[in-house]
Structure 1
């Protein structure tokens, strides 16, 4: 397999792993953390530096949220960081710094594509087909799960319950 093809395939997988559903949007858990990892990937002992960054990750608490929402969001971000880190470290075993830099650069690029194309997974599937990504079903299923969890957070049942109560009160 061509090195750039491999980097592209792995970067799509990494990009789908970093996404979380917050406040009705699908977003990466922390692009700044990914950029920090990218900065240390040029070091001679990059794997150790990346492992250290992943283990020491402590996200900032979200503002203007209830404590239980804040705790959930912090826990989710830490879990995603650990999952991303393990996958990244598996992918970069015995790779040179240029490979790691390219992989992370492509990952950031693909994160932006996912953020902009998440409303229509069919369009994202077409992009994955055009790029020849073999694991597109795994990537799409990960994103569909997030999209479905995003849709479940609406206020539909509350409005319906109110309408039923209003109806009962009138009769």
Structure 2
């Protein structure tokens, strides 16, 4: 079998591939951005609720960490848009796609941390039962499976060495 026969996928130049990957990345970022911005907006309102002052010091610390994580996730997930705007027309799209992809990955990790700490805070306030950490751990495990485990499994199972 020749190299051409073994080759799979698209026959595209580096520029065409970068254009396609940019479009796909921006679609993915739109989904994550919407979620993190809604979550962050709700988090910002909590401090203005009367019940906030009655939270324990631990719960207030969890809240502050959650807000900071949400702000960082928002920044990382909006970063690719700013990156594109600042480098557009400079003939660096392949490099910009790689950098935007890394920013998006960091944003998703920060979103996972934000959702984890939000869930921990909400469940601690809603119930003071000892099962809260276990419930949060179960949900985080679910996120890890859906967001990272299954995609990495599919990538490993359905890609060849030549694809990597």
TM-score by length of 1: 0.29
Structure showing greater Rg: 2
TM-score by length of 2: 0.30
Higher RCO (CA 8 Å, separation ≥ 6 residues): 1
